[in-house]
Amino acid sequence: MGGPFDLAGRVALVTGANTGIGQAIAVALAGVGARVALAGRTPATETAAAIDALGSEARIVDADLSTIEPVGRVVEETVAAFGRLDILVNNAGIIRRADFDRFSEEDWDAVIDTNLKSLFFLSQAAARPMVAQGGGKIINIASLLSFQGGIRVPSYAAAKSGVAGVTRAMANELAPRGIQVNAVAPGYIETNNTAALQADETRNRQILERIPAGRWGRAEDIGGAVVFLASSASDYVTGQILAVDGGWLAR
């Protein structure tokens, strides 16, 4: 392939790659030559098959990222399988909804642990082999709620705001070691997680009226942004939160 977006010879680790945005990211990276480890508690068999069909190589790594227990093993298995680790995409995440005065400690902790704590410590584990080999890329999946508050999702808003902050903090420390750290903040994307919103005629209309692009995003839109941030085209880009939202935040 050649060119600044070519990832031939690179190895990526993508969490939560079994469906939706994570799947699209993994396939997009494989499409430009990367070999991809797919980490999550649900085996990403469909994603692995799609990557195989592209002529690239995938490896499924079992990991429940609701705790930090597996983070070291996930990195070790990736390096053992492919010999190196160049790109980490922290996509795995959960969301819990409840009214403010009924939001439980359990729901708070579950979201913060998965979406923020595991993201940081997996990044820490991945940075070690990246530093040893001379550099790498860490890409976090943030959210529009890294910029906004949302409704009935306080722990998700807190976690995704934290993702934006820790992205910048990691970028400051890791840039001198050759690692760029950035985040992508998806807007309203057509996935299984947003099926109810898409089916709600009133809410769907309200969402589309706010988006200058006039359409919902597709998971592939996020994949393209991640390919840019994973490639040498972004070697002088770090500490940034790239909103891929059809213009939602600009409205």
**Whether residue 156 lies in the annotated active site:** yes
Domain ranges in the chain are 11-190+220-242
> What is the distance between the alpha carbons of residues 25 and 39, in angstroms, rounded to a whole number?
13
List CB contacts of 186: < 8 A, sequence separation 6 or more. 21, 141, 143, 144, 217, 221, 222, 244, 245
Predicted TM-score (pTM) above 0.95: yes
In CATH terms, the fold of domain 11-190+220-242 is Rossmann fold (3.40.50)
The residue written with tokens 């530093």 in the block is 131
Among residues 154, 241, 144, the alpha carbon closest in space to that of 188 is found at 144
Per-residue pLDDT of the chain (251 residues; tens, 9 = 90+): 679 999 999 999 999 999 999 999 999 999 999 999 999 999 999 999 999 999 999 999 999 999 999 999 999 999 999 999 999 999 999 999 999 999 999 999 999 999 999 999 999 999 999 999 999 999 999 999 999 999 999 999 999 999 999 999 999 999 999 999 999 999 999 998 888 889 999 999 999 999 999 999 999 999 999 999 999 999 999 999 999 999 999 99
Among the listed residues 156, 188, 216, 248, the single catalytic one is: 156
> What is the distance between the alpha carbons of residues 120 and 41, in angstroms, rounded to a whole number?
18
CA distances from 74 to 63, 143, 155, 211, 248 (A): 7, 24, 26, 38, 35
- What are 157's two structure tokens? 């808003």
Among residues 155, 66, 152, the alpha carbon closest in space to that of 105 is found at 155
